[in-house]
Structure 1
């Protein structure tokens, strides 16, 4: 073992703790992968391991960090000193003042310094937020706006206005943006910033990066992918294998396998909303017919319930359903059945341990889940599949985007020091 914290021999023990390194598989968010197996490469990996241990379990003493990641106290102390000098970790004082002997100094990731900027382009809203290295949301802004049919340029300009607003507030608190991640409701080409197709926005082959000022490292990804990552990182102890359904105006899905997103060859995996439920059904903006979105999307449920769209469609549906409106409850039962039919194919093919319902429609879970579970129970080939509701709800994609940037800092603290 070198004094700079590098290991001589042995294997790295990463990813064993909740919030462990390199989980999620976000393109561009982890810069540790592919580091050469050199002393410098091992040092960078060990710095990351210290950051993840303190972020996930802190405050911790140097000795506690050493015990968790399997390095010597001397090596960890050297790594911690480097992280303190970089402003990424701070000392809070004695860990346990009343213990016998000399107490260790408690370490925590810094509440200032690098922060993640997350943004979201929704069909009917724009949003941005700042999350610090401790995972706290330090600033947030949302704007209700109908983005259907709007050219990408004006939409991105409006989004940048929100991003600058939250960034300015965060900078006043001693934070600095380490990167920007944007969630979009469409297909994003793998390892690119190009939205190949977003039917509900009517965007085609749109390079979002080309519309933004080159101010920060950028990641663009599908909103369901960010929602699944948020569930993995922030949810209530989800399994390592689950299918996350993000249901709003559109319906997307993301599959997490052994703690990583399954993206598909081109990055397009998860388009559950465009799985045909009834092939001769109504036409969908994607060009197909009878797609799930035409039966279980927000607007489809409103139409089936005989309600006019309002400013908050989900709240309207929830209020009416809770008041006993049978038209609304019937529409939600039908939507749940359609979801169950579409999910049957995914569950039979992929065998996830659980299905997690997220997005705005998670607010309607009490009326959706009974028929959804009935359909799954009748149709799936296996012994069963748990169905849960995300506690993050519609915030999942935005939080997932911001936390993806935070985790890129934890994965490679040298890159931002």
Structure 2
């Protein structure tokens, strides 16, 4: 339940935020439409809008929808200048950095496709700093000011910290990103989060009002397998911030040894490396894992039995692991994201079959679908987390007048 503001200043901040979110959701939109959307009087909304225009968060575009009778008012939109969010993803074999403006548009994007698993944290983070410098510089040239930096990593991150406790597929232990990241320009607030969590937040925020889900498990599958759990519109982080480690749920207790130290983890059956190995496909040459997964898909389309068998095994393992989460959490949907989303035609049937057979409550099998945000979900979720911090409390980011 939302806590009511306890001062006039907090009420003003909240109402400014409500106006910005209304424009973000429905813009370009008139003052009258905003008033109807958030339940304030037109006079109150006009006062708030004028303040946001002066502060540089909104722009007027000319006559737009009025939301009622009478002459249309000037349409309002979020500015394409000013504060922006910088989001980054550290993957096992790639780095991605993007700048997203207040309207949610990706204005700058840079990537680096090379293996990170054996490079060491210092080397990887130096390359990430280089990408960040380029993105911040290009964002500045486009009239944008970074409001913060958020980084998605494939590992355990201590809650409310910037410390990566363990990232087995990178070989990192107790790596504090704040000690390594210093992009050009003024210091930026830094947030570090598990990549599956940021991908789930991207799904929550970017799927659109018509298809928005507020209770789901988002499976983010690449070399490792993580899950972001969203319940009633809120990300479930757990006491220490370690919730969602689906890849290390055992599906066969006496199965192969895992990098986490356990045995028979889901990752050993449905992670990319395990899946390719079971299909007899080696990762080599140009394109690495991406090319190997493309070969797997092509072989599955051609009916290659080894590939189909490997995919059925992976889908079944996903279904077994997810059944425990479904019985425990009762989500409305299970969404498959990351690189394995491209293999959904073969993974989803055995996954759904396991859920139907194992879900305890009658008629409680969740919808199973492919994520709408694609492989950029972690970096987009990261950047949008910064944008939303601006929309939540805009005045500290106002332009100087």
Q: Which runs of 5+ in 1 are unaligned?
A: 1-11, 15-33
Paired with 1:400 and 1:38, the residues of 2 have a C-alpha distance of 31
With normalisation by structure 2, the TM-score equals 0.92
Quote the offset at 1:323 in angstroms: 2.6
The answer to whether the Cα contact below 8 Å between 1:363 and 1:393 also exists between their aligned partners in 2 is no
Is 1:319 matched with 2:292?
no
Cα distance in 2 for partners of 1:251, 1:367 equals: 17
The residue number in structure 1 matching 2:92 is: 123
Q: Is the 8 A contact 1:114 1:178 kept in 2?
A: yes
**Of residues 346, 356, 360 in structure 2, which corresponds to 1:367?**
346
C-alpha distance in 2 between matches for 1:72 and 1:212:
45
Taking structure 1 as the reference length, the TM-score comes to 0.89
**What is the Cα deviation at residue 79 of structure 1?**
1.1
Deviations, residues 328-380 of structure 1 (Å, cap 9, x unaligned): 12111110011011111111111111111111100110010111111111111
The answer to whether residue 135 in structure 2 is matched with residue 166 in structure 1 is yes
Does the residue aligned with 1:299 lie in a helix, a strand or coil?
helix
**Aligned to 2:309, which of 330, 355, 358?**
330
Residues 29 and 65, structure 2, Cα contact 8 Å, conserved in 1: no
Quick check: 1:412 aligned with 2:364?
A: no
Of residues 264, 267, 271, the one that matches 1:290 is: 264
Of 220, 245, 248 in structure 1, the residue corresponding to residue 192 of structure 2 is 220
1:210 CA displacement: 1.4
Mapped contact 1:253–1:272 kept (Cα < 8 A):
yes
Is the 1:111–1:132 contact (alpha carbons within 8 Å) kept by the matching residues of 2? yes
Matched, 1:390 2:362: no
* Distance in structure 2 (CA, Å) of the matches to 1:36 and 1:205: 38
CA distance 1:226–1:160, shift in 2 (3 Å): same
CA–CA distance in structure 2, aligned partners of residues 322 and 35 of structure 1: 55
Structure-2 separation of matches of 1:35 and 1:200: 44
Q: Which residue of 1 aligns with 2:43?
A: 74
Q: Which runs of 5+ in 2 are unaligned?
A: none
CA contact (8 A) 1:128 1:398 kept: yes
| Bigger Cα displacement from structure 2, 223-232 vs 137-146 | 137-146
Matches within 5 A, 1:263-282: 263-282=237-256
How far off is 1:315 after superposition?
A: 2.2
* SS of match in other structure, 1:92: strand
Give the distance between the partners of 1:218 and 1:66, measured in 2 at CA. Answer: 35
Contact 1:235 1:392 in 2 (8 A): yes
Equivalent in 82, 92, 106 of residue 61 of structure 2: 92
| Cα distance in 2, alignment partners of residues 96 and 192 from structure 1 | 44
Residues 336 and 80 of structure 1: CA distance in aligned 2, closer, same or farther (over 3 Å) = same
Please say which of residues 231-240 and 107-116 is displaced more in the overlay.
231-240
- Once the two structures are TM-superposed, the CA of residue 101 in structure 1 deviates from its matched residue by 4.7
Aligned-residue CA RMSD (Å): 1.8
Identify the residue that residue 250 of structure 1 maps to in structure 2: 224
Matches within 5 A, 1:181-200: 181-200=150-169
Q: CA deviation at 1:249?
A: 0.4
2:176 corresponds in structure 1 to 207
CA offsets per residue over residues 245-285 of structure 1, 9 Å max, x none? 10110000011010001111111100000001111111111
Determine helix, strand or coil for the equivalent of 1:365.
helix
Aligned counterparts of 1:377 and 1:100: Cα–Cα separation in 2: 51
CA contact (8 A) 2:33 2:65 kept: no
Deviation at 1:316, TM superposition (A): 2.6
Q: Distance in 2 between matches of 1:322 and 1:252?
A: 27
* Post-superposition offset of 1:35: 9.2
Say if 1:283 and 1:40 are closer, same or farther in 2 by CA, change over 3 A: same
Superposed CA offset, 1:357-410 (max 9, x none): 111100110010111111111111122221111122211111111111111111
Q: Which segment is superposed worse, 215-224 or 152-161? A: 152-161
- 1:152 is aligned to 121
Find the residue that maps to 2:161 and give its secondary structure.
coil
Note the C-alpha offset of 1:288: 0.7
Aligned to 1:232: 204
Query: 2:321 aligns to what?
Result: 342
1:316 and 1:399 mapped to 2: Cα distance? 28
Aligned partners of 1:395 and 1:318: how far apart in 2?
A: 20
- 1:100: Cα distance to partner? 7.9
CA change 1:386–1:134 in 2 (3 A) is same
The number of equivalent residue pairs is 385
